[in-house]
Structure 1
Amino acid sequence: MSAFAAQLSFALDPFQVRACETLEDGNGVLVCAPTGAGKTVVGEFAVHLALRGGGKCFYTTPIKALSNQKYAELAERYGAESVGLLTGDQNIRSEAPVVVMTTEVLRNMLYASSPTLSGLTHVVMDEVHYLADRFRGAVWEEVILHLPEEVRLVSLSATVSNAEEFGAWMEEVRGDTTVVVDDHRPIPLFQHVMVGRRLFDLFEADACETGRAVVVDRELVRYVKQRESADRWEQPRGRRGSRPGGGFRPLPRPQVLARLDEEGLLPAITFIFSRAGCDGALAQCLRSGLRLTTDDQVARIREIVHKHTADLPRADLDVLGFADWSAALERGLAAHHAGMLPVFRHTVEELFVKGLVRAVFATETLALGINMPARTVVLERLVKFNGETHADLTPGEYTQLTGRAGRRGIDVEGHAVVLWQPGLAPTAVAGLASTRTYPLRSSFRPAYNMSINLVDQLGREASRALLERSFAQFQADRSVVGLARTIERNTEGLEAYRERMDCHLGDFQEYAGLREQIRERERTLERQTRTARRQDAADSLVGLRRGDVIAVPTGRRSGLAVVLEVDTDPADPRPLVLTEDRWAGRLSAADFPSPAVSLGRMRLPRHVDHRVARVRRDLASALRETGIRAPGKAAASRKSKAGSDRELAELRRTLKHHPCQDCPEREQHARWAERYFRLRRETEAMRQRSAATTNSLARTFDRILALLAERGYVAAGRTDGVTEEGRRLGRIYCEADLLVAECLRRGAWTGLDPAELAAAVSCVVYESRREGGLSPRGATGPLRGAMAETMRLWADLRDDEQRHKLPVSREPDAGFVGSVYRWAQQESLADALFEGGDAAHPLSAGDFVRWCRQVIDLLDQVHVAAPERELRSTASRAIVAIRRGVVAIDPV
């Protein structure tokens, strides 16, 4: 410890000392601390211990960019000959005493019992909170569970509120593990809100300094109210659809940066939650003439840009937007997002760290990986698209983003600036900035590849036991313990309620049960009536013809409408209509409490483009001129069945003659009875949830093995037998592992040339950001056949997964087929990018390189796992065909 500390240029913080001493004592350690607090020092001490003891240390990270960065740092400290790098893309000195790698590489080593594991004494898992990632998080738990017992584990995490729970699980599965939590930011973070050109503190001064009292700055609150009041006054009167606060416009980005520069708050990262938004912000700044660099800095920027991009093919520079990108850098401005070429992103990172780029517009992915802190972080909005809907930022996301503010050793304080917009309450910002509850939730679930490898290594029963030791099951079991306590309390409460509803005339629980049955029967009959009404409405919509004029009875679209397109889907017909108010869209059975009836017909042109405003206006005018009038409000076509239902009538008769019917305190007893039945329903739901949670992972594992046994990957009738096909599946590591194994087994990709194979393989790794094409222009017959067979195998697999009650594998996506096919055919980058999109939205260079590298990864697995020598050879040639130009250039 003292020898290690002597090598450092700074004194260790107390939490670093405690964590390092724990390691030196031979224990594992979990360190949870804010971004920039210096957690990695503990990982570096593990490297120091391994080298001093003649052992090995693996340093794992969640992403390749972090691995590359850590490799460079450790190689500089310990010498290149002592440090290796394994990321899938690169294999540098894999037998060195210190190897930096992505977590997936270590997981694969463990399953393969790689000889490289020999002599391993320490493993550092950087950013271990990634185990909450729903796509890749399971890998972290697999590693933690599979590492040999004698290996000391150093887990480094961002601040989470359930560190003790995570540490308790680590203690259970790894032995002695010390949890070290430090909430102190080495660089204090000050929060601000910018309203127009005015920059306010978010909290009162004493709250910023002490971190205790969370009091929103009174001047900020007063100014925002004045601004909102002024905006309401300025807003045009009587304008429909005007947004609240219509008079306020946020400060243009160049002026925001200029204002921050005045306050000495650059360099800054502005987080914008879309790639197009980042590029648009950069373009806005370029048009403004904003410049943040000196002539000397421009010269240094040009040198670094040339160093990184000298190997780029000159023919590709235009399509890569090189001129605009480098011009922005020379003015101290840049964007940073996954759509950029990796070498461009790496150049931006180096220039920013060196202080040559002073303003970066970035997506939130920057906050999750590489070390790129700023003096200030700017948030334009507190809402982002999460893949399904626009959702408010969580406190954890806010903290992750603003954690980039404050450079250790450079800044004495960091700053977070939120740009105010109408409707944004300062108290909402304060709530995000002051909340400290970020629980870590496991995303661990058994998958096909994982299950095969577990059974092959451990056998079925030992595998089930290992799954039950996962953090996911640990958390589930703890929730079951909480449920059990609640169920016990509820049971006592039920007994108390039963006593309170006691009646001297008879069994009031029986009487209350009759009332409950009557209510449930009435609800059931009403549901049946609604279903029948909906079916009547659906049948009527199926029967409509083009040109029919109908009345929409309710809702915002009520009034006359003409049918532009029919829909004969009996389950959910959605005809396209145009209303007399010029609205065009699809209606459903939910819009019709009674069946739709044709009130007449009108003649329509052969082709109607309802997206054109002029066409909608002319047709709406013609509809009004037909003279057809909408009828009055229609009554529901079906009456409720409650009046004629025999079962309901019998229940009501029994209730009427029950002795408790005449009790003078009947309604008082009934109120206790309602509470009793409500609590009983809640308790029963908890019991079912408890039963479903207990051993839930093991049940999923059993279902997976049942499906794999049916398909011949596990020997039927044997406890632990993995077939040769199963071992091939065990060598495929991708989201679509079983589908890939089926394609290899059934010969779906046999007989293809290298470009065709690359294109076919891309279907199972690619996921479109927008609708992709079905097949490339000029696709060959063999490629079309391979894609069709891949889709057929997926459909068969989907049916089996549904039958076994397993999550359905993602459908193959042909959106990248054309791009990778053309690229592997040695066509130009421009053609490949255009093939992946359209003239207005070509595929971005960064996406193209990333997906090409994922195709290469899978082709490498095909090369190992394919049963035929010809297919293995074709996979190798396909890798060579793709790994050229921008795909081959490594940013390190």
Structure 2
Amino acid sequence: MTDPTPLSTDTSAEEPLSPSAAYADFKARAEFARTPLGQFMERTEFALDDFQIEACSHLQDGEDVLVTAPTGAGKTLIAEFAVELARGEGKRVFYTTPIKALSNQKFNDLAEVHGSENVGLLTGDTSIRRDAPIIVMTTEVLRNMLYNDVSGLSDLGFVVLDEVHYLADRFRGPVWEEVIIHLPDRVQMVSLSATVSNVEEFGAWLREVRGPTTIVSTTHRPVPLVNHVLVGHRMYDLFTHSDSDRIDPALNHATRTHGGPRSKRARATRARFRRPSRTQVVASLAEAAMLPAIMFIFSRNGCDEAVEQYLSTGTDLNSREEKTIVNAALESLRDDLADEDLGILGYHTFREGLLLGVAAHHAGMIPQFKQLVEELFSQGIIKVVFATETLALGINMPARTVVLEKLVKFNGEAHVMITPGEYTQLTGRAGRRGIDRIGHSVVVWHPTIEVSELAALASNRSYALNSAFGPTYNMTANLLSRMSSDEAAKVLETSFAQFQADKAVVGLARKVRKNEATIEAYEKSMHCDRGDFSEYAGLRRAISDTQKQETRTKSRNRQRDIVESLTALKIGDVVTMPAKRVGGRAVIISPMSSKDGVSRLPTVLTEQGKVWHLRPHEVTEPVASQGRVRVPKKFNHRQAGDRRQLLSILEAAVADGRVDAEAHWESTREHQGESTTVAELQAQMRAHPCHDCPDRELHARWANRADKLIRENDSLIARIEGRTTSIALVFDRVQDVLRGLGFDPEHSTMLRRIYGERDLLVALTIRAGLWDRLNEPELAAFASIFVFQSRRDTLTAHRAPSADLKAVCDESETIWRRLFHLEEQHALTTTDEPDRGLIRPMYRWTEGKTLSESLRGSDIAAGDFVRWAKQSLDLLGQVAEVIDAETAVRVRRTIEAIRRGVVADS
């Protein structure tokens, strides 16, 4: 390793050097100054920290490095040195990032330093100067190149894996491991990660699969962080200044006074306590000279509401000169936006906020808005950004202060406490290097927050990195195209997931032995003199499990039938509603509709002359049309005369037999009552000798406890048995599914080129010829069902804009059901069902409609639409490479039709 000793300049405490030693020191410094690292350090704006010097020295000596450091510590400087080394050696360098926004930022940064002609960008849907010596790309693109474009790697010298801790991400993590496993050994790898607690474990795996790798870790922040808690309108330090782990007594006293979780008077005091409003929080920060700030709000709507709330105060944080800069930036942005789209984009509120110095930042905003917020915030012109946690993912937006409005967020399934790793990631934005002496994190306190829990979050600066790796269909197809199944299994067993699995067996076995002892004690307690109580308990369990499953199935099918029946109703249909509020028949005067993502059920006029807006909880059964009557033109349900006229028409239709009172909804699904299985099990249970035991329920309680532990142990034992070959077992099951669907290695060319969470489903629809039957708008809409994920379950039926599109969507769902059942049979994670939530907006957009027209009637935010449109573009690009030549022409025309306006400009 290059000796960094010559870099030391602090000689104040040293004895004067002898002439010969001074000459040697001078010569060493001169030699170091001629090295790539010495020349690089001469050009850097800041003096390098020790960890940066160490990592760069190892890179200069030809080694791989793994660097873990807090957010804002300067990890990217090491990546910049790797770029310098590659340029000096005449080699190419790939700079990979986990998200497109970060790729765009790095592309601009590197182009500014090295010249735009030397920097390219590859992000799936974007390709700029792909032959440039420096390429910024998403990790997925590099993975695809490793499988399909090895020739493009011949002169590759360095790969930077920025934010490599992403390999723990459930959806994107496996891609990182694929890259690390398949990257040629001759390529130097620079892995940059947030601080993780198991860095030695991760480094040991890297050495195993990559060879010599040096770990360089630091927990030091260049700008120290001070943690605060805002209680009411007063700011307190979380820890004492003399002891960074001891909670400040003044804070403890303040929270007890306001009714903390363990206060005796908590209920009454908490009822009186009011969390300060967002505008009051900003005022407190401004008063304490703690702006600019990022306030994390775990809700998009919350971020937008915060801007609205601030605008209502009229408080202005910007000078006249700053407003001039904002107006100039807005004028440039305004040129790229269509007038008719300004409303749906929320442009006017966005503009007012920027002028006053505040803005929102979340995934629902179009990229152009977010980029402008990032630029103006970095310039110090925006003083407060209300953001969701996505801003913390690598985007360069340091602030003096970071505020956490709450410590609980929705993770997609439940509201949970943020983890220490998330707290570290979020607060890592606090403190601007070279500007702030210290950074500040502020938690807005509420009586539900236990100060000790907050202290634990703040003092725990790391989290464990756990692999999310598993063989996918695409990965399997690519591996089998290059090697035998046994060889591919050996490659997969080199994954970090397998490395961690093998180490975990000892701990799992210890837990099994402990559980077995407890189970034995429970079984003694549940002993019954009348018979085998474990057998009796098994019957009770089987009854309960079967009933729950049947109830879930019935509920799901009934819900779908209700939606379909309501969707089928048109104005003038006569129905009888299964609800107490309506007696007799009713006429549909407004059909089911969807606006802003909220489904509005039909409106009816009852026989009693009442207008009733149906609500979801009131419609408990499917509704069938019993006939139809003519609703007069210009019918206004608010006019009594119009209502009487329609009731007369209804009465006449009933009298002459045009309304069938016996009509009922015909479901396409099978509806079953309680199965014979349950009845048989119940008969066996009643006949069992333990059923009449007087201590039956006491025994049952012990049996339930034993059963819970037995199930846990069965799971642990299964994990132990599969640990040594866990990845290989999944690989075998994936192969079984592929073989069951006719995808052997010789026929998997198409699957090898399709990447995504529904990769096999897309390949099956291509093989079935579904894409060949569609025109351009239909192709765009069809592509969207394989990338779109609805943010919430809604009672909405998404009608296809054309018969052909509806037919292929229906057929794709049939194909998906077959795939789903196969995956369940082989105990694999199931593929998500195609999601039609974007088909109408994508169809309209590809037809040439404006953004406002495209999104009308949906709950899809403009930023989300752009993101899903770009993902649809990515998929269409993949499809164009593997589909029939004639269809490929239409697919490429579809791509051009989508890539316009806000989608192209992003």
Mark yes or no: TM-score above 0.5. Answer: yes
How much does 1:877 deviate? 1.0
Q: Does 2:733 correspond to 1:697?
A: no
Preserved contact between residue 256 and residue 263 of structure 2 (Cα < 8 Å): no
User: Residues 68 and 160 (structure 1 numbering): CA distance in 2 closer, same or farther, change over 3 Å?
Assistant: same
Say which of 241, 244, 259 aligns to 1:228.
259
Give the aligned partner of residue 122 of structure 1: 158
Give the aligned partner of residue 216 of structure 1: 247
Give the aligned partner of residue 226 of structure 2: 190
How much does 1:140 deviate? 0.5
How much does 1:611 deviate? 6.1
How much does 1:805 deviate? 2.1
Structure 1 residues 107-186: aligned runs within 5 Å: 107-186=143-222
Say which of 116, 119, 122 aligns to 1:86.
122
TM-score computed with the length of structure 2 as normaliser: 0.77
Preserved contact between residue 132 and residue 440 of structure 1 (Cα < 8 Å): yes
Preserved contact between residue 530 and residue 689 of structure 2 (Cα < 8 Å): no
Preserved contact between residue 261 and residue 450 of structure 2 (Cα < 8 Å): no
Preserved contact between residue 775 and residue 817 of structure 1 (Cα < 8 Å): no
Preserved contact between residue 521 and residue 648 of structure 1 (Cα < 8 Å): no
How much does 1:13 deviate? 0.6
Preserved contact between residue 772 and residue 814 of structure 1 (Cα < 8 Å): no
User: Residues 680 and 799 (structure 1 numbering): CA distance in 2 closer, same or farther, change over 3 Å?
Assistant: closer
User: Residues 172 and 827 (structure 1 numbering): CA distance in 2 closer, same or farther, change over 3 Å?
Assistant: same
Letter in 2 for 1:845: A
Preserved contact between residue 127 and residue 157 of structure 1 (Cα < 8 Å): yes
How much does 1:76 deviate? 1.6
Give the aligned partner of residue 57 of structure 2: 21
Say which of 297, 304, 307 aligns to 2:332.
307
| Mapped partners of 1:225, 1:646: distance in 2 | 53
Q: Does 2:348 correspond to 1:284?
A: no
Q: Does 2:734 correspond to 1:723?
A: no
Task: Give deviations 1:53-86, integer Å, cap 9, x for gaps.
Answer: 1111111111111111111111221222222211
Q: Does 2:831 correspond to 1:809?
A: yes
Structure 1 SS opposite 2:856: helix
Preserved contact between residue 529 and residue 639 of structure 1 (Cα < 8 Å): no
Give the aligned partner of residue 505 of structure 1: none
Structure 1 stretch displaced more, 806-815 or 456-465: 456-465
| Mapped partners of 1:310, 1:541: distance in 2 | 53
Give the aligned partner of residue 483 of structure 2: 458
Q: Does 2:51 correspond to 1:34?
A: no
Structure 1 stretch displaced more, 390-399 or 331-340: 390-399
Preserved contact between residue 772 and residue 815 of structure 1 (Cα < 8 Å): no
Task: Give deviations 1:854-888, integer Å, cap 9, x for gaps.
Answer: 1111111111111x222111111111111111111
Letter in 2 for 1:362: A
User: Residues 683 and 352 (structure 1 numbering): CA distance in 2 closer, same or farther, change over 3 Å?
Assistant: closer
User: Residues 245 and 232 (structure 1 numbering): CA distance in 2 closer, same or farther, change over 3 Å?
Assistant: farther
Letter in 2 for 1:873: V
User: Residues 229 and 513 (structure 1 numbering): CA distance in 2 closer, same or farther, change over 3 Å?
Assistant: closer
Give the aligned partner of residue 533 of structure 2: 522
Question: What percentage of aligned pairs have identical amino acids?
Answer: 47
Give the aligned partner of residue 141 of structure 2: 105
How much does 1:803 deviate? 2.0
| Mapped partners of 2:901, 2:212: distance in 1 | 50
Structure 1 SS opposite 2:101: helix
Letter in 2 for 1:698: A
Preserved contact between residue 579 and residue 619 of structure 2 (Cα < 8 Å): no
How much does 1:678 deviate? 13
User: Residues 232 and 185 (structure 1 numbering): CA distance in 2 closer, same or farther, change over 3 Å?
Assistant: closer
Structure 1 stretch displaced more, 774-783 or 264-273: 774-783
Structure 1 SS opposite 2:849: coil
Letter in 2 for 1:798: F
Letter in 2 for 1:394: T
Query: How many residue pairs end up in the alignment?
Result: 753
Preserved contact between residue 762 and residue 817 of structure 1 (Cα < 8 Å): yes
User: Residues 300 and 136 (structure 1 numbering): CA distance in 2 closer, same or farther, change over 3 Å?
Assistant: same
Structure 1 residues 748-827: aligned runs within 5 Å: 748-771=770-793, 779-827=801-849
| Mapped partners of 1:833, 1:680: distance in 2 | 52
Structure 2 SS opposite 1:319: helix
Give the aligned partner of residue 595 of structure 2: none
| Mapped partners of 1:166, 1:847: distance in 2 | 35
Give the aligned partner of residue 666 of structure 1: none
| Mapped partners of 1:192, 1:257: distance in 2 | 14
| Mapped partners of 2:353, 2:41: distance in 1 | 42
Preserved contact between residue 293 and residue 385 of structure 2 (Cα < 8 Å): yes
Preserved contact between residue 254 and residue 290 of structure 1 (Cα < 8 Å): no
Task: Give deviations 1:145-164, integer Å, cap 9, x for gaps.
Answer: 00001111100000000000
Structure 1 SS opposite 2:424: helix
| Mapped partners of 1:843, 1:396: distance in 2 | 30
Q: Runs of 5+ in structure 2 lacking a partner?
A: 1-36, 555-561, 563-577, 581-607, 621-681, 695-705
Say which of 378, 387, 391 aligns to 2:412.
387
User: Residues 542 and 76 (structure 1 numbering): CA distance in 2 closer, same or farther, change over 3 Å?
Assistant: closer
Preserved contact between residue 279 and residue 335 of structure 1 (Cα < 8 Å): yes
Structure 2 SS opposite 1:723: helix
Give the aligned partner of residue 373 of structure 2: 348
How much does 1:638 deviate? 9.4
Structure 1 SS opposite 2:177: helix
Preserved contact between residue 296 and residue 404 of structure 2 (Cα < 8 Å): yes
Letter in 1 for 2:73: A
Preserved contact between residue 533 and residue 690 of structure 2 (Cα < 8 Å): no
Preserved contact between residue 316 and residue 829 of structure 1 (Cα < 8 Å): yes
Give the aligned partner of residue 861 of structure 2: 844
Preserved contact between residue 526 and residue 533 of structure 2 (Cα < 8 Å): no
Say which of 2, 7, 10 aligns to 2:46.
10
Preserved contact between residue 254 and residue 284 of structure 1 (Cα < 8 Å): yes
User: Residues 233 and 144 (structure 1 numbering): CA distance in 2 closer, same or farther, change over 3 Å?
Assistant: closer
| Mapped partners of 1:268, 1:281: distance in 2 | 14
How much does 1:688 deviate? 3.9
Give the aligned partner of residue 295 of structure 2: 270
Letter in 2 for 1:887: V
Give the aligned partner of residue 717 of structure 1: none
User: Residues 739 and 686 (structure 1 numbering): CA distance in 2 closer, same or farther, change over 3 Å?
Assistant: closer
| Mapped partners of 2:737, 2:434: distance in 1 | 56
Letter in 2 for 1:389: A
TM-score computed with the length of structure 1 as normaliser: 0.78
Structure 1 residues 564-575: aligned runs within 5 Å: none
Structure 1 SS opposite 2:343: coil
Say which of 362, 365, 370 aligns to 1:337.
362
Q: Runs of 5+ in structure 1 lacking a partner?
A: 236-241, 498-508, 544-564, 566-575, 579-603, 617-636, 650-675, 715-721
How much does 1:118 deviate? 1.4
Say which of 57, 63, 77 aligns to 2:99.
63
Preserved contact between residue 232 and residue 245 of structure 1 (Cα < 8 Å): no
Preserved contact between residue 293 and residue 402 of structure 2 (Cα < 8 Å): yes
